[in-house]
Structures are given as C-alpha cells and as structure tokens.
Amino acid sequence: MSALIIILVLVLVIVIPNVKIVPQSMCYIIERLGSYYETWTNGLHFKIPFIDRVSGIISLKEKVKDFPPQPVITKDNVTMQIDTVVYYQITDPKLYTYGVENPVNAIENLTATTLRNIIGELELDQTLTSRDIINSKMRAILDEATNPWGIKINRVEVKNIVPPRDIQDAMEKQMRAERERREKILQAEGEKKSSVLIAEGQKESLILQAEAAKEAQIKKAEGEAEAILKRSVAEAEAIKNLKDAGADQSVLTLRSFDALANMANGQATKIIVPSNLQDLATLGTTLSEMFKDKK
C-alpha cells in the first residue's frame, strides 16, 4: 500500500509537471542537457524529467512596439524629435532565442541608428513631406538586419515629427501667409468672375432691348402699312359706290384727291395738282379705275 502511495506521489510530482500542452500561436524552446533540442508547436508534449527543460516560451503573434522619440539631425542641421512604431513578428523561435540578447532592445537601438542615418540625408522640408519614403527605407533596412534574429519586420511608421519651437513658429507664419495669399487669389478670381457675369448680363440685356425695339418698329411699320392699305381699299370702295350711284366727274375727282390726301397721311411733303380741271377729271378717272382694278 505504501509502495502504491509512493508511486502516485512520484507520478504527481514528476510525470504530470512534465506533460505540456502548447496553445495555438505559441511555441516552446526545449533544451536537453543544456543544449537546444527542439521547438514544440501547439499540441500535447512530454519532456524527460531532469534532462529536458523549457528554455523559452515564445508568441508567434505580430507585435507592436512604440519606441520613444529619438533626437535626429537633418542635412541642413535642424535637430528634431522623431518617434517610430515597429510592427514585427517572430518567424524562427530558435534564432530569436539564441540569435541576440534582448531582441526588443536590439530592435529599438537599430531603429534609432537607422532613423538617424536616413534623416541625416534629408533636409527639413524633405523630412516633413517624405514619411512614406522614410517608412519604406527603415522597413527594408530593419528587416534585413533582424533576419538573422528570426524576426520579420512587417511595417515601420514614423509616428511624430517634432521640429524645434522656432522652426514651428516659422512654419506657422509661412502657412498663415500662404493661406492669406490663397484667400486673396480666390477673392480676386471671384470678383473677376462676378464682373464678367455682370458684363455678360448687361450685354445680353442691351441685345434684348435692341431686338425688342427693332421688333416694335417692324410691328409699327407693318401696322401703318396695313392701315394705309385698308384706307386705300375703303376709299376705292367709296369711289366705286359713288360711281355706281351716278356721281358726276367732279365729285369723283374730289374724292380721288381725298384719297390721295389720306394715302399721304401727312407723310408727303408735296402734292402736285394739275393746272386745269380737265386734267383733274382725267386724274380722278384714272385713280377711280386704279382703285376699281385693285378691288
């Protein structure tokens, strides 16, 4: 009975602690007698008591490291503070464990030196406007440098660029002046467009007024011509009625002169009258015949 108890105690103390279940996206680094033996991935594993040991538990998930601001100097000797964010992932747990001491600290120092080298080749204006270029160069350099450590640099982002206070004040003044310049340009363009629209409106108004006056004159002339024509027809009808009623030649002649006066309607400046009555009679007869033919 005592032997069974001893066996159970040994099982509890020795066997059970050496049974390991590795979860997903994790891995265990196993050393045997002080040397690297193997890497356990997710699943059930058993290690030999007193011979094997777990030297490291490593997560294979992507990690994000936000490094504090680093002082850097641009090509035109402007000192500024830049902080970066690095996204990395462990691809080889063995290299990560045995490749470098304190890998995160190594990445931070490597990031700082790489950033200084890149910014040292750029001027202030280029630094402020070339974040994508800086990010791409840093990612490529860091990924190549950390490959022997079993680390994959997925992405590097320049988080903040903080130039000196006097540079910030100068930049703010420059931006304020630029905004005022753009505002004046927009205002001038607006006034110009407004003047053009007003001029075009006045032009169209004058054209419409001229066309309306022209149309009114045409209508007036057509109305006067139609009135004269109607009066002429009426006079001719009256002379015809007088003739049909047996009026003598003198009456017809007088009516003809009345017709002439009505046709002139104050527009003629001179009316020529024949020197003898016979010519008047002849003229009256001619006019009466003319109006008769027109009827």
Confidence of residue 253 (pLDDT cuts 50, 70, 90): low
Report if residue 83 sits inside a domain. Answer: yes
Determine the angle formed by the axes of helices 277-294 and 165-244, rounding to 10 degrees.
120
CATH code, domain with 84 = 3.30.479.30
Quick one: 18 and 67 in the same domain?
Answer: no
Contacts 24+ apart (CB under 8 A), 34-42: 36/94, 36/97, 36/98, 39/93, 39/94
Residue 294 predicted with pLDDT over 50: no
132's tokens: 């994508």
Q: Which of 134, 163, 192 is the last residue of a domain?
A: 163
> What is the mean predicted confidence (pLDDT) over 122-126?
85
Q: Is residue 209 part of a domain?
A: no
List CB contacts of 33: < 8 A, sequence separation 6 or more. 51
Is the pLDDT at 154 greater than 50? The verdict is yes
Q: What is the pLDDT of residue 90?
A: 93
**Domain end among 163, 185, 206:** 163
Question: In this model, does residue 247 exceed pLDDT 80?
Answer: no
Point out the domain boundary residue: 115, 148, 163: 163
Percentage of the chain lying above the pLDDT 70 cut: 80
**Strand, coil or helix: 174:** helix
Identify the domain containing residue 117 by its residue range. Answer: 63-163
In terms of domains, do 19 and 103 share one?
Answer: no
Residue 277 has a pLDDT of 45
pLDDT at 91 over 50: yes
Kindly calculate the radius of gyration of the chain based on its CA atoms and give it in whole angstroms: 56
Beta bridge partner(s), residue 53 = 31
Number of domains, the chain: 3
Task: Answer positive or negative: Cα dihedral of 86, 92, 94, 95.
Answer: negative
Residue 174 lies in a domain: no
* pLDDT at residue number 182: 86
What's the pLDDT band for 242 if we cut at 50, 70, 90? low
Q: Do 265 and 279 belong to one domain?
A: yes
182-215 pLDDT, tens digit per residue, is: 888 888 888 888 888 888 888 888 888 888 888 8
In a domain, 92, yes or no: yes
Q: Which residue has the higher pLDDT, 66 or 1?
A: 66
Q: Are residues 113 and 45 in the same domain?
A: no
pLDDT band at 86 (very low <50, low <70, confident <90, very high): very high
Residues 99 and 70 in one domain: yes
What ranges make up the beta strands (E) of 18-118? 19-22, 26-32, 35-40, 43-46, 52-59, 63-66, 70-73, 79-90
Q: From CA 74, how far away is CA 131, in angstroms rounded? A: 14
Q: What stretch of H or E contains 245? A: none
Q: Which position has the token pair 């004040």?
A: 169
Q: Residue 130's CB: how many other CB atoms inside 10 A?
A: 17
Same domain, 119 and 153: yes
Same domain? 53 vs 68: no
Residue-by-residue DSSP string for 103-129: HHHHHHHHHHHHHHHHHTTS-HHHHHH
Is 134's pLDDT higher than 50?
Answer: yes
